[in-house]
Amino acid sequence: MNQFYNRHFLKLSNFSKKDIYELLNISLKIKDDKNKNKEIKKLYNKNIVLIFEKESTRTRCSFEIACYEQEAKITYLSKYNSHIGYKESIKDTARILGQIYDGILFRGKHQKDIEILAQYAGIPVWNGLTNEFHPIQILSDLLTIKENLINKSLDEIILSYIGDINNNIANTFLEAALIIGFNLNLISPKKLWPNNKLFNNLLLNNNKIILTDNIDDGVNGADFIYTDIWLSMGESSKLWESRINDLHNYQVNKELILKTKNKNIKIMHCLPSLHLYYHYKKLFNQTIISKYNLFNGLEITDEIFESENSIIFQQSENKLHIIKAIILSTLLKNKY
């Protein structure tokens, strides 16, 4: 029996380094099989439900296509076309869906909701993003990193994550770095540093995870630069101005890339990204854009987003292969 059979996929810290390496290898095999037109379709007798409390392009589409390509049948539920969350509790929803389906994908606000789903559904539950974690994304990123390694192994890289370090992407990278043992530099102004005991203890006890407000220190020698949108889904749009005030110096731009002193530096972003002015000019007051001259992108400039060092769309593609590895491994006894 494969080691993932019947398990949930809620957060990376539920898995070992060996587990994560195994999932990456399964994804690589599935990707290779698909590219050679020899993917084995194994989920023809499985029914899967996708619950989206928050919006999505990549995760939803990759999940649906992963299911179609594996011949599983799917139902899509959102907060607009179901009773979940207001007329019906998560616990009841879990028990109902658990009788009808073989697996549940959940994207929502609270990690505790997905924990309840997992507790009562009796079938595998997969996390498609919560406020706290985004494990499918970070596995896709690790796969992308693995494909781009030059003379280094995954546990030797330096990944510099810059910007909003209080979100699901940063939290999940923290988990990944702890499990795998790569160097993670978290870069943001002191004002935005998490101030909790757990985080502070973690930094004290791990010399491969660095928290700094100094961009030169944070990106020096980096192999990968990663950023995410400065305001995550579900956060009040009223926060845009203060976030820009805090983070405008922490943009991924040409100057920052030069500071890495690495001509092979790879640029990463989970997407969606506000790198084009016309996408964010209506989101907040124009004066702040002029004040900081942010006409060429917010968290990343369009120039760097589109540069040849960017592996952003490879990250996005890899989501499909990672999702297949997760659903096949948790739904079927035998290894893919």
Binding site for ligand CP (CB under 6 A): 56-59, 129, 137, 270-271
Smallest distance, Å, CB 58 to ligand CP?
A: 4
Contact of residue 57 among ligand CP, ligand NVA, none (CB under 5-8 Å per partner type): ligand CP
Contact of residue 232 among ligand CP, ligand NVA, none (CB under 5-8 Å per partner type): ligand NVA
Distance CA 157, CA 68 (A): 35
Would you say 234 and 131 are in contact if contact means Cβ atoms under 8 Å apart?
Answer: yes
Q: Which is nearer to ligand NVA, 188 or 262 (CB)?
A: 188
Contact of residue 228 among ligand CP, ligand NVA, none (CB under 5-8 Å per partner type): ligand NVA
- Residue 229 interacts with ligand NVA (CB under 6 A): yes or no: yes
For 212-251, letters b (16+ CB in 10 Å) and e give bbebeebbeebbbbbbbbbbbbebeeeebeebbebbbebb
Instruction: Name the DSSP letter for residue 307.
Output: S
C-alpha closest to that of 321 among 336, 306, 300, 299: 336
Contact of residue 168 among ligand NVA, ligand CP, none (CB under 5-8 Å per partner type): ligand NVA
Q: Which is nearer to ligand CP, 168 or 260 (CB)?
A: 168
Q: Which is nearer to ligand NVA, 298 or 331 (CB)?
A: 298
Hey, what are 125's tokens?
């539950």
Long-range CB contacts (within 8 A, 24+) of 36-42: 39/69, 40/336, 41/69, 41/70, 41/71, 42/70, 42/71, 42/328, 42/332, 42/336
Distance CA 307, CA 177 (A): 27
Amino acid making up residue 291: K
Number of residues that bind ligand NVA (CB under 6 A): 10
Contact of residue 183 among ligand CP, ligand NVA, none (CB under 5-8 Å per partner type): none
Contact of residue 310 among ligand CP, ligand NVA, none (CB under 5-8 Å per partner type): none
Which range touches ligand NVA (CB under 6 A), out of 161-169, 190-198, 257-265, 295-303? 161-169
Q: Which is nearer to ligand CP, 46 or 58 (CB)?
A: 58
Distance CA 67, CA 42 (A): 10
- Residue 232 interacts with ligand NVA (CB under 6 A): yes or no: yes
Q: Which is nearer to ligand NVA, 70 or 167 (CB)?
A: 167
Helices 17-35 and 135-147 cross at an angle (nearest 10°) of 70
Q: Which is nearer to ligand CP, 162 or 332 (CB)?
A: 162
Smallest distance, Å, CB 309 to ligand CP?
A: 20
Sole binder of ligand NVA in the list 162, 270, 323, 325 (CB under 6 A): 270
| Maximum distance among all Cα pairs of the chain, rounded to whole angstroms | 60
Interface mask toward ligand NVA for 183-222; x: CB under 6 A:
----------------------------------------
Contact of residue 314 among ligand NVA, ligand CP, none (CB under 5-8 Å per partner type): none
**Alpha carbon separation from 240 to 27, 147, 162, 237, 301 (Å, rounded):** 37, 35, 17, 6, 18
Distance CA 83, CA 262 (A): 51
For 78-94, letters b (16+ CB in 10 Å) and e give beeebebeeeeebeebb
Contact of residue 301 among ligand NVA, ligand CP, none (CB under 5-8 Å per partner type): none
Residues of this chain, 162-181, that bind ligand NVA according to CB under 6 A: 167-169
Smallest distance, Å, CB 169 to ligand NVA?
A: 5
Per CB under 6 A, residues contacting ligand NVA are 129, 134, 167-169, 228-229, 232-233, 270
